[in-house]
A and B are shown apart, each in its own frame.
Chain A
Amino acid sequence: MIWGVLQFPGSCDERDALHACTLASGGARLIWHEDRDLGGIDGVIVPGGFSYGDYLRAGAIARFSPAMEAVAELADAGGPVLGICNGFQVLCEAGLLPGALLRNENLRFVCRQLDLVDEGSARELSPSEGGQPADRSLLSIPAKHGEGRYYAPEPMLDELERNGQVAYRYAPGQNPNGSVRDIAGVRNETGNVLGLMPHPEHAVDPLTGSTDGLSVFRSLERFAA
């Protein structure tokens, strides 16, 4: 499949995301934030960085870009959308994912390799449909952010847990930012939109210590039309 990687003024991880998509799924190309037409790609990555300088709130301005209108349409149609770090913030601000991301509890920018628990997919395909059982293995993936404290009101959190929408948690004792219930990533109800704070695109090559990030990209491939 071919991923489109959005590029906003202030994005900084789009090149690594392109590389990761190519390694994980076969191909990718950049999409400029002013392009209303995504041009025949199969899925979208909203990458990390500081879109529009993080003015007002991280992700608050980026969600109004023409490309994001097209991303919302793709998401509504069931296509795969992955938001990483700032991209996760953008998807939450756009209402495509539940919750919000706040300043880290200790007010410090965090940059470290950490372990994530893969909570498995929301809507598992049965084995006869080609599905795999939920994989709860640990993934070694770096995180680097100053505003990554996931927050949602308690009733919303309970609902997310019930629906299997909590996609990734920080391994016990490794929560770097004070996120509620150690949540590192969530997905929408249908499972085709996924966001997480850690950076799977920086964990795709043995040279940098881990290739565990590839599984994050591949987990969405089944939503490609």
Chain B
Amino acid sequence: MRVLIRPKEGILDPQGKAVERALPALGFEGIGHVHVGRMVELEADDPTRLAELCEELLANPLIEDYEIQTL
């Protein structure tokens, strides 16, 4: 399983902004809305409890959104 965690829409993401600002200097034009998050890979015997795990620990629901993917 894979969990993607990203800053909530509307919350200032200075990491994403810093990456975005660096791109033109490297010759990458036309790239916007860069956001930097985290990825957690794990194996779960009972995937039904993964959302609970995300809410409790992997993400802070006040500032982050998460997405659970089955590989």
Are chains A and B native binding partners rather than an unrelated pairing? yes
A106 and B14 in contact, given A56-B57, A56-B58, A60-B57 (Cβ under 8 angstroms): yes
Does A152 lie within 8 Å of B18, measured CB to CB?
no
Q: Is B42 interfacial (CB-CB < 8 Å)?
A: no
User: Which residue of A99, A149, A178 is within 8 Å of B62 (Cβ)?
Assistant: A99
CB-nearest residue of chain A to B63: A100
Q: Which A residues, 35 to 66, have Cβ-Cβ distances below 8 Å to chain B? A: 56-57, 60, 64
Q: Cα distance A93–B58 when bound, in Å?
A: 11
B interface residues, tally (CB under 8 Å): 11
List the B side residues contacting A152 at CB < 8 Å.
62
**What is the minimal beta-carbon distance from A75 to any residue of chain B, in angstroms?**
19
**What is the minimal beta-carbon distance from A105 to any residue of chain B, in angstroms?**
6
CB-nearest residue of chain B to A61: B57
Does A100 lie within 8 Å of B62, measured CB to CB?
yes
Main secondary structure of the interface of B (DSSP, over half): mixed
**What is the minimal beta-carbon distance from A132 to any residue of chain B, in angstroms?**
34
CB-nearest residue of chain A to B56: A64
**What is the minimal beta-carbon distance from B58 to any residue of chain A, in angstroms?**
7
Q: Cα distance A93–B57 when bound, in Å?
A: 9
Q: Cα distance A105–B12 when bound, in Å?
A: 8
Q: Cα distance A64–B12 when bound, in Å?
A: 28
Does A178 lie within 8 Å of B12, measured CB to CB?
yes
Q: Cα distance A107–B13 when bound, in Å?
A: 10
9 extra A-B contacts, CB within 8 A, seeds A56-B58, A102-B11, A105-B12 = A60-B60, A100-B60, A100-B62, A102-B12, A103-B15, A107-B14, A107-B18, A153-B62, A178-B14
Does B60 lie within 8 Å of A93, measured CB to CB?
yes
List the A side residues contacting B60 at CB < 8 Å.
57, 60, 93, 100
List the B side residues contacting A93 at CB < 8 Å.
60
A-B residue pairs, 3 tightest by C-beta: A100-B63, A100-B62, A107-B14
List the A side residues contacting B63 at CB < 8 Å.
100, 102, 151
List the B side residues contacting A149 at CB < 8 Å.
12
Does A103 lie within 8 Å of B11, measured CB to CB?
no
Q: Which A residues, 167 to 198, have Cβ-Cβ distances below 8 Å to chain B? A: 178
